Homo-oligomer: A and B are copies of this chain.
C-alpha cells in the first residue's frame, strides 16, 4: 500500500494523520465550518485522496470523534489512592484541559447540529458517559449501585457536560473555580439523595468519614457552615 511517490505513508498512518489534522481544525472552528478541502490542504494531500481514505466528511468526522472519545475516556483514569474529593478534582482538571483543547469541536458535538446527531456519534458520546459513570462507581467502591446512586452519578456527569459547555460560551468564570465547583456539586447532589434514602446515606457517610477536613469536601462543609449563621435561626443547620 506504500507504492508511489505521493503516498509515502501507509494507509493506517495516513488515516491517523487526517484524523489528527481534522481534530486540530475542529479545535478552532466548528466541524460544520471545516471543509474537506481545508483538511486536504492542511494534510498536504489532494481532496480526492482524502476521499480515498474516508468516503465522506461524515466518516472522517466520526473517526475523529472516535479518537477524541478514547482520549477523553483515558483522562478519567485516576489511581484509586487518596481522598475521593482530591481524585475527582484531578479528573476535573484533565476534563477541562480536554474541553479547552477541543473547544469548538466539543461544543458542536455536545450541542448536536447538522453534522452530528448520527447514531454512530451518539453511541460514542454515550460510551464516554458510560466510562465516566463506571470510573466513579469503581472509585466509590460500590459493587451493585442502587438506582439512586446511579441517578446521582449519571445526572452529575450530565451536569459536568453542561457546565463545561456554559464555560466555553464566554468563559466568564475561571475554569479552576468550576473544576472545584463540580466536585462540590457531586457532594451536594449525593447529600440531597442521602437526606431521603438510607442506602445513599450509608454511601455518603462512608465517603465523608474518609475525607480530610482540608480536602475539597471538608472545605465545602466549612464554608457552608460559615453561611449558616446568616440564615434565620429556625432554619439554621
Residue on B with the closest CB to A154?
A: B166
Tell me if A205 and B184 are in contact (CB < 8 A).
no
Q: Is the CB of B192 within 8 A of A166?
A: no
Q: Do B162 and A155 touch across chains, with their CB atoms under 8 A apart?
A: yes
* Copies of this chain, tallied across the complex: 2
A55-66 interface bits toward B, Cβ cutoff 8 Å, 1 = contact, 0 = none: 000000000000
Please state if B184 and A192 are interface contacts (CB–CB under 8 Å): yes
Which residues of chain B are within 8 angstroms of A150 by Cβ–Cβ distance?
Answer: 166
Contact A205 B231 (CB under 8 A): yes
Q: A114-B118, A218-B235 are in contact. Are A223 and B196 (CB under 8 A)?
A: yes
| Of A72-80, A98-106, A206-214, the one with at least 4 CB within 8 A of chain B | A206-214
Q: A228's closest neighbor in chain B, by CB?
A: B237
Q: Does A234 contact B (CB under 8 A)?
A: yes
Q: How large is the interface on A (under 10, 10 to 19, 20 to 34, 35 or more residues)?
A: 35 or more
**A25 proximal to B (CB < 8 A):** no
* Per-position binary interface string of chain A over residues 213-229, scored 1 when its CB falls under 8 Å from any chain B CB and 0 otherwise: 10001101101111110
User: How many Å from the CB of A159 to the closest CB on chain B?
Assistant: 5
A112 is an interface residue with CB less than 8 A from chain B: yes
- Residues on B with beta carbons closer than 8 Å to the beta carbon of A113: 117, 119, 122
Minimal beta-carbon separation of A119 from chain B (angstroms) = 6
A100 to B: closest C-beta gap in Å: 17
A189 on the B face (CB < 8 A): yes
Closest B residue to A122 by CB, please name it.
B112
Which B residues are CB-close (under 8 A) to A230? 201, 205
Q: Chain B residues with Cβ under 8 A from A227's Cβ?
A: 191, 194-195, 201, 204-205
Interface-centre pick from A201, A227, A235, A237 (highest chain B CB count, 10 A): A235
Contacts A112-B122, A184-B192, A188-B192 aside, 17 further interface pairs with beta carbons under 8 A come to A114-B118, A116-B117, A151-B167, A154-B166, A158-B158, A158-B162, A159-B159, A180-B196, A185-B189, A185-B192, A188-B188, A191-B227, A208-B235, A217-B235, A218-B235, A221-B235, A228-B237
9 A-B residue pairs with Cβ-Cβ distance under 8 Å, sorted by A, are A113-B122, A151-B167, A155-B166, A177-B196, A185-B189, A185-B192, A208-B235, A217-B235, A224-B237
